[in-house]
Chain A
Amino acid sequence: MAEAKTEERIPTVTEERIPTVIVDDVHIVYRVHGAGGAKGGAVAALRRIVTRQGNPNVRKVHAVRGVTFTAYKGEAIGLIGSNGSGKSTLLRAVAGLLPAESGKVYTQGQPSLLGVNAALMNDLTGERNVILGGLAMGMSQEEIRDRYEDIVDFSGINEKGDFISLPMRTYSSGMGARLRFSIAAAKNHEVLMIDEALATGDRKFQKRSEERIRELRKEAGTVFLVSHNNKSIRDTCDRVIWLESGTIRMDGPTEEVVGAYEEFTGQK
């Protein structure tokens, strides 16, 4: 799917290696309310409070267990691993969005996660969502005004009539995904993190979005990419970290790690 050529890769070894992200023995624990709940209604709950037992409805999920690595300027790092191995959680921690239970994450500037889904509202028109999403990402009003046409054109929403002035809930899922990606990709970032955003929309839009990601990569210092698509990892990344149940299983050059991962999952 990706057309990335090898010559577009940023060289791995530069004169001086400047770290942009340092992750030092990070643990992340989620507290999930309303898990379990197998036993009892109100009476059981009251008894637990009286007897000072821990609430079994709150379950701790230890999603990332002691991850350490350093990312350097110019690197594109792929994160792979099976579902629930902690990839997305780790990205959020690096972005500083999810506080770590222990350990530290040091970053150069403010890493940003590519994605604005949560800020958008389905009841609003596409037009207002572009503005809202841009503001949520920290763009100024002038920046948004300048980029507005580009964002709408890029999304291709208006190719089949004036859809941008309709509420987003009337969009097809593909159209919604395209607009979300277009908004998210409108801003340049120092440390950019992409969470499986490559495969949205139709074939034509996929090509366009891959191109845009390569542009963003060139401008960004360091790129992280979470994906289950080994081909897009091979095309875009020069280093891969393989996570399995919250720990790093392997960290190294793309071919080596992806090869081992494919062997592990039996994809070959």
Chain B
Amino acid sequence: MSLHLDESPAARLAPDQGLSAQELAAKYGLAVSGARPHLREYVRQLWARRHFVTAYSRAKVHAQYTQAKLGQLWQVMTPLLNAGVYYLIFGLLLGTSRGVDDYIPFLVTGVFIFTFTQSSVLAGVKAISGNLGLIRALHFPRASMPVSTTLMQLQQLLMSMTVLITIVIMWGEVPRLSWLLAIPALLLQSIFNAGMAMAMARLGSKITDLAQLMPFILRTWMYTSGVMYSLSAKLGNAPHIVKLLLEINPAAVYIDLMRFALIDSFTSAQLPSHVWVMAAGWALLAGVGGFIYFWKAEEEYGRG
């Protein structure tokens, strides 16, 4: 049982005795601890922590392979082996390559670009729940966590892209000006991924089962995104609505854009109409929407 001596000698001497906690706080300009800042202030805080966000993601990527003998070489080996496995199964064993020119660059682009979105979403789910220690110890805008996990994936993707470019050149493509289109495509996809990661981070911090469920959802998403086959070739006489749904799928949009940029035989005829508008639209929708959705629960992260 408590004696409750809440009248400390200090409190008795205070001239502000009659005031309630709220009035006292207001009188001396005290603010509620851990309150959610306004959106604009939040953006400013996040920007102020940009060095932390990048340093944290770089450190995480670096820490991943320090125990392995081959070390940082795995940053390149992992995507290479991934591409190899997919080629073995879908190119040689199942023969999905029929009807697609330049199948290897086609497949590898699809795998790498989809993996970027997939791993960003997966890492996003655990961005809050997996960093509770950090969140309960230090102050920073919590959006730093999903943003830095996305940056981590971006760094891995850039490694993969060097592998991809090498494969494409070995395949006999000649570097062209259109390769520069890869940059805006990647930028838009990164914004889309960061937004998705933030939305998933909030969901994942509340629904702990999500981490178990997501791999299945993501695998379904992969098989419907035309990663290892050509959507436009397969969709010849599908109903219009199915076609439309598969075409506006953001993963398919970003994959198609990258193929268009890098592979000569993948012409604009194979792109759905308004593809850049869709790419920008998805980035805007996910980026802004995910950020606001995440910010709305800012003060609740850390309760676990």
B25 beta carbon closer than 8 Å to chain A:
yes
Chain A residues, Cβ within 8 Å of B30: 19-22, 106-108
A156 beta carbon closer than 8 Å to chain B:
no
Chain A residues, Cβ within 8 Å of B4: 247-248
> Interface segment, A1-9, A35-43, A121-129, A224-232?
A121-129
**How many residue pairs, one in A and one in B, have C-beta atoms under 8 Å apart?**
174
Given A22-B21, A105-B34, also A112-B13 (CB < 8 A): no
From B22, B33, B48, B62, give the contact of A96 (CB < 8 A). B33
| C-alpha gap A121/B62 in the complex (Å) | 10
Nearest A residue to B4 by beta-carbon distance? A248
B137 touches A116 (CB 8 A): yes
A111 touches B52 (CB 8 A): no
A44 beta carbon closer than 8 Å to chain B:
no
B137 touches A123 (CB 8 A): no
B10 touches A132 (CB 8 A): no
Chain B residues, Cβ within 8 Å of A212: none
B70 beta carbon closer than 8 Å to chain A:
no
A136 beta carbon closer than 8 Å to chain B:
yes
Nearest A residue to B208 by beta-carbon distance? A33
A31 touches B136 (CB 8 A): no
| C-alpha gap A105/B33 in the complex (Å) | 5
Chain A residues, Cβ within 8 Å of B277: none
| C-alpha gap A120/B302 in the complex (Å) | 18
A173 beta carbon closer than 8 Å to chain B:
no
B136 touches A97 (CB 8 A): yes
Nearest B residue to A240 by beta-carbon distance? B8
A107 touches B5 (CB 8 A): no
- Determine the main DSSP class of A at the interface with B: mixed
> Interface segment, A69-77, A146-154, A198-206?
A69-77
Count of chain B residues with Cβ under 8 Å from any Cβ of A?
Answer: 52
Given A135-B51, A138-B140, also A107-B10 (CB < 8 A): no
- The A246-268 residues at the B interface (CB cut-off 8 A) are 247-253
Q: How many Å from the CB of B276 to the closest CB on chain A? A: 36
B31 beta carbon closer than 8 Å to chain A:
yes
A19 touches B137 (CB 8 A): no
- The A16-64 residues at the B interface (CB cut-off 8 A) are 16-22, 24-25, 30-33
> Interface segment, B53-61, B152-160, B232-240?
B53-61
B10 touches A239 (CB 8 A): yes
| C-alpha gap A72/B35 in the complex (Å) | 21
| C-alpha gap A22/B23 in the complex (Å) | 11
B24 touches A132 (CB 8 A): no
Q: How many Å from the CB of A108 to the closest CB on chain B? A: 5
| C-alpha gap A137/B208 in the complex (Å) | 28
Chain A residues, Cβ within 8 Å of B303: 30-31, 98-99
- The A68-103 residues at the B interface (CB cut-off 8 A) are 68-70, 72, 75, 92-99
| C-alpha gap A252/B55 in the complex (Å) | 44
Q: How many Å from the CB of B257 to the closest CB on chain A? A: 34
Chain A residues, Cβ within 8 Å of B32: 104-107
| C-alpha gap A119/B24 in the complex (Å) | 35
A136 touches B140 (CB 8 A): yes
A sample of 30 cross-chain residue pairs with beta-carbon separation below 8 angstroms, ordered by A number, consists of A13-B10, A13-B13, A16-B15, A17-B13, A17-B15, A22-B25, A22-B30, A30-B304, A33-B304, A68-B21, A69-B8, A70-B11, A95-B33, A96-B35, A99-B299, A99-B302, A104-B21, A104-B22, A105-B34, A107-B33, A110-B139, A115-B137, A121-B60, A123-B63, A128-B62, A132-B52, A135-B49, A239-B10, A247-B4, A252-B8
A-B CB proximity, top 5 nearest = A96-B34, A24-B21, A106-B25, A96-B33, A123-B63
- B-binding residues in A (CB < 8 A): 12-13, 16-22, 24-25, 30-33, 68-70, 72, 75, 92-99, 104-108, 110-113, 115-119, 121-124, 128, 131-132, 135-138, 140-141, 167, 239, 244, 247-253
Given A70-B11, A115-B137; 16 other pairs, CB 8 A cutoff: A13-B10, A17-B14, A92-B136, A93-B33, A97-B34, A107-B32, A108-B28, A108-B30, A116-B137, A119-B137, A132-B59, A135-B51, A138-B139, A239-B10, A248-B2, A249-B3
- A-binding residues in B (CB < 8 A): 2-6, 8-11, 13-16, 21-22, 24-25, 28-35, 48-49, 51-52, 55-56, 59-60, 62-63, 66-67, 131, 133-140, 208, 299-300, 302-304
